[in-house]
Structure 1
Amino acid sequence: MFRTKHRSRRTPLIAVLAAAALSAAPLTFGSAPAVAGPRPEEGPPTITPTPHTEQRRTDRITITPAVTVVTGSKSDPAAVKLTTAALKAAGAQDVTTARHTPTRSDSLAVYVGGPTENPASAPALDALHTDGPSELAAEGYVLALGGKGAGRIVLSGADPTGTYYAAQSLRQILPHRKTAGATVRGLAVRDWPSTPLRGVIEGFYGTPWSHKARLDQLDDYGKHKMNIYVYSPKDDPYLRAKWRDAYPADQLAQLKELVDRARASHVEFTYALSPGLSVCYSSDDDLKALTGKFQTLWDIGVRQFAVPLDDISYTDWNCDADKAKWGTGGGAAGQAQAYLLNRVNQQFVKTHEGARPLQMVPTEYYNTTSTPYKTALAGQLDKDVLVEWTGEGVVAPTMTVDQAKRAKEVFGHSILTWDNYPVNDYATGRLFLGPFSGREKGLAEQLAGITANPMIQPYASKLALHTVADYTWNDSAYDPGASYTSAVQEAAGGNARVERALRTFTDVNYSSPVNSVAAPELSTLMKGYWTGSVPASRLKAAFVALRDAPATIRGGVEKGFAEDAGPWLDSAQAWGVAGIAAMRMLEEQHAGHTAAAWTLRQQLPTLIAKAKSYRYTELDGNKVPVVIGDGVLDPFFAKVRDTSNAQLGLEPQPTAATDLPVYNGNTADRMSDGDDSTYFWSSRSPKTGEGVSLDLGGQQPLGSVTVAMGKPGSTDDYLHQGVLEYSSDGKTWHALGTEFDGKATWTADVPSGTTARYVRVRATADQVNWLAVREFTVARPDRPTVSGRPAAADGSSLSAAADGVPETPYRAASAPAPGDALTVTYPAPHAVTSVTVLRPDDATASKAQVRLRIDGKWQTLGPLDGPVTTRPAPAGASADAVRLVWDDGSAAPVVSEVIVK
Structure 2
Amino acid sequence: MAAAPAGGRQSAFALEKVPAGPLFVHVKLKAASSTGKDGALEVRLNGKSVFRGQVTLSSDYWRFKRYEVKARSLRAGANLLEIEGAPMPEVGEAFLSDQHFAPILDPKTDFEVELPAAVEPYPVPLTGPDKEPPFEIRGTKGWAWTPEQYLAEVPYLVKAKMNFLMNCYTSMFSSLDPFVNRWWEPLPEAKKNGFEEVVRACQANGIEFCFAMHPQLFSERPLTPGNAKDFEDLWKHYSWMQGLGVRWFSVSYDDIGVEGQDKARLGEAQAGLVNALLARLREKDPRAQLIFCPVYYMGCGDTPDARAYFGGLSRVLAKEVYVFWTGDAVVPPRITMRCASIYKNIVKRRIILWDNYPVNDRHPTLHLGPVTGRDTDLSRLIDGYMGNPLCPQSDINRIPLLTEADYSYNPEAYDPLRSIGQAILHLAESPAERQALKHLVELYPGSLLYGDSRTSFNPVLERFRWLMGEPASHRLAVEFIGRVEGVEKELAEAFPGRFASTREAVRGHIAEMKKALGAVK
* Identity across matched positions, percent: 24
1:374 and 1:410 in contact (8 A); partners too: yes
Describe how 1:64-213 pairs up with structure 2 within 5 A: 191-202=131-142, 204=143, 208-213=144-149
Aligned to 2:299: 367
Task: Tell me the alpha carbon deviations over residues 573-601 of structure 1, each in whole angstroms, 9 at most, x when there is no partner.
Answer: x5xxxxxxxxxxxxxxxxxxxxxxxxxxx
Residues 1:472 and 1:283: Cα distance change in structure 2 (over 3 Å) = same
Contact 1:435–1:481 (CA under 8 A) maintained in structure 2: yes
**1:430 paired residue among 340, 362, 365:** 365
Alpha-carbon distance in 1 for matches of 2:237, 2:493? 44
Check the 8 A contact 2:290/2:321 in 1, yes or no: yes
Q: Measure, in 1, the Cα distance between the counterparts of 2:450 and 2:379.
A: 20
Distance of aligned partners of 1:367 and 1:32 in 2 relative to their CA distance in 1, 3 Å threshold: closer
Contact 1:511–1:519 at 8 Å: present in 2 too? yes
Q: How does 1:291-302 map to 2 (within 5 A)?
A: 291-302=235-246
Deviation per CA, 1:514-545: give whole Å up to 9, x if none: 5439969x98xx99xx99xxxx9x99998765
Distance in 1 (CA, whole Å) between partners of 2:165 and 2:203 is 11
Q: How many angstroms does 1:546 deviate by?
A: 4.2
Distance in 1, matches of 2:258 and 2:116, equals: 52
> Do the aligned partners of residues 233 and 259 (structure 1) sit closer, same or farther apart at CA in structure 2, a change above 3 Å counting?
same
User: Quick one: which amino acid aligns to residue 197 of structure 1?
Assistant: I
Which of 303, 307, 311 is the aligned partner of 2:251?
Answer: 307
In our comparison, the structure showing a higher alpha carbon Rg is 1
Inter-CA distance 283–550: structure 2 relative to 1 (3 Å threshold): same
Q: For residues 361 and 232 of structure 1, do their structure 2 counterparts lie closer, same or farther at Cα, with a shift above 3 Å needed?
A: same
Output the amino acid matched with 1:296: W
- Mapped partners of 1:365, 1:612: distance in 2: 40
The 3 A distance-change label for structure 1 pair 389 and 497 is same
Q: How far apart are 1:273 and its partner, in Å?
A: 1.7
- 1:32 equivalent in alignment to 2:32: no
1:64-111 per-position Cα deviation (integer Å, ceiling 9, x unaligned): xxxxxxxxxxxxxxxxxxxxxxxxxxxxxxxxxxxxxxxxxxxxxxxx
Q: Which runs of 4+ in 1 moved over 6 A?
A: 517-520, 538-544
Q: Distance in 1 between matches of 2:147 and 2:414?
A: 32
2:104 and 2:407 map into 1 onto residues whose CA distance is: 15
Aligned equivalent of 1:342, options 275, 284, 304? 275
Residue 231 of structure 1 aligns to which amino acid in structure 2? N
1:427-576 matches, within 5 Å, as: 428-456=363-391, 457-493=393-429, 495-513=430-448, 515-516=450-451, 546-557=484-495, 559-560=497-498, 562-570=499-507, 574=510
Post-superposition offset of 1:429: 2.4
Cα deviation per residue 1:159-208 (whole Å; 9 max; x = unaligned)?
A: xxxxxxxxxxxxxxxxxxxxxxxxxxxxxxxx431211111122x4xxx3
Please report how far the alpha carbon of residue 476 of structure 1 lies from its aligned counterpart in structure 2 after TM superposition. 0.5
| Match runs of 1:568-587 below 5 Å | 568-570=505-507, 574=510
Give, in whole Å, the separation in 1 of the partners of 2:286 and 2:495: 40
Once residues 438 and 479 of structure 2 are traced to their aligned partners in structure 1, the CA distance between those partners, rounded to angstroms, is 14
Residue of structure 2 aligned with 1:53, choices 122, 127, 150: 127
Deviation of the 1:337 alpha carbon: 0.7
Matched, 1:331 2:252: no
Q: Displacement of 1:436 after TM fit?
A: 0.5
TM-score of the two chains, using structure 2 as the length reference: 0.67
Contact 1:460 1:564 in 2 (8 A): no
Say which SS state the counterpart of residue 311 (structure 1) adopts.
coil
Tell me which of 197, 210, 231 is aligned to 1:257.
Answer: 197
Question: Aligned AA for 1:438?
Answer: G
Distance 1:466 1:302, change over 3 A: same
Shift of 1:360: 0.6
| Paired letter, 1:244 | W
Tell me the equivalent position of 1:784: none
Deviation, structure 1 residue 268: 0.7
Choose the corresponding residue for 1:246, options 178, 186, 209.
Answer: 186
Following superposition of structure 1 onto structure 2, how do residues 659-738 of structure 1 map, counting pairs within 5 Å?
A: none
Match of 1:289 among 233, 239, 247: 233
Helix, strand or coil: the match of 1:435? coil
After TM superposition, give the deviation of residue 400 of structure 1 in Å.
0.7
Instruction: Render the CA deviation track for 1:661-681: whole Å, top value 9, x for unaligned.
Output: xxxxxxxxxxxx9x8xxxxxx
Cα-Cα RMSD? 3.4
Q: Match of 2:335? A: 399
Q: 1:270 aligns with which of 176, 186, 210?
A: 210
Higher relative contact order (CA 8 A, sep 6+): 2
User: CA–CA distance in 1 between the matches of 2:365 and 2:197?
Assistant: 31
Task: Establish whether residue 351 from structure 1 lines up as the match of residue 283 from structure 2.
Answer: yes
Give the letter aligned to residue 552 of structure 1: E
Closer, same or farther: CA 559–487 of 1 in aligned 2, 3 Å? farther
Aligned mates of 2:358, 2:309 — CA distance in 1: 28
8 Å contact from structure 2 (residues 368, 444) kept in 1: yes
- SS of match in other structure, 2:405: helix
Deviation at 1:549, TM superposition (A): 2.6
Q: Distance in 2 between matches of 1:228 and 1:500?
A: 30
Larger fraction in helix: 2
User: What is the CA deviation profile of residues 334-354 of structure 1, one whole-angstrom value per residue up to 9, with x for unaligned ones?
Assistant: 0101111112222x2322326
Aligned counterparts of 2:395 and 2:168: Cα–Cα separation in 1? 18
1:329 CA displacement? 0.8
- Determine the C-alpha separation between the residues in 1 that align with 2:459 and 2:229: 54
Aligned partner letter, 1:568? A
Q: Contact 1:404 / 1:443 at 8 angstroms: preserved in 2?
A: yes
Contact 1:501 1:545 in 2 (8 A): no
- C-alpha spacing 1:32/1:386, structure 2 compared with 1 (3 Å): same
Question: How far apart are residue 250 of structure 1 and its match?
Answer: 2.4
Amino acid corresponding to residue 444 of structure 1 in structure 2 = S
| C-alpha distance 569-292 of structure 1, shift in aligned 2 (>3 A) | closer
2:126 corresponds to which letter in structure 1? H
Displacement of 1:298: 1.1
Shift in CA distance, 438/341, structure 1 to aligned 2, threshold 3 Å: same
**Structure 1 unaligned residues grouped into runs of 5+:** 1-20, 37-45, 55-134, 137-190, 317-327, 575-608, 614-633, 638-672, 676-804, 808-901
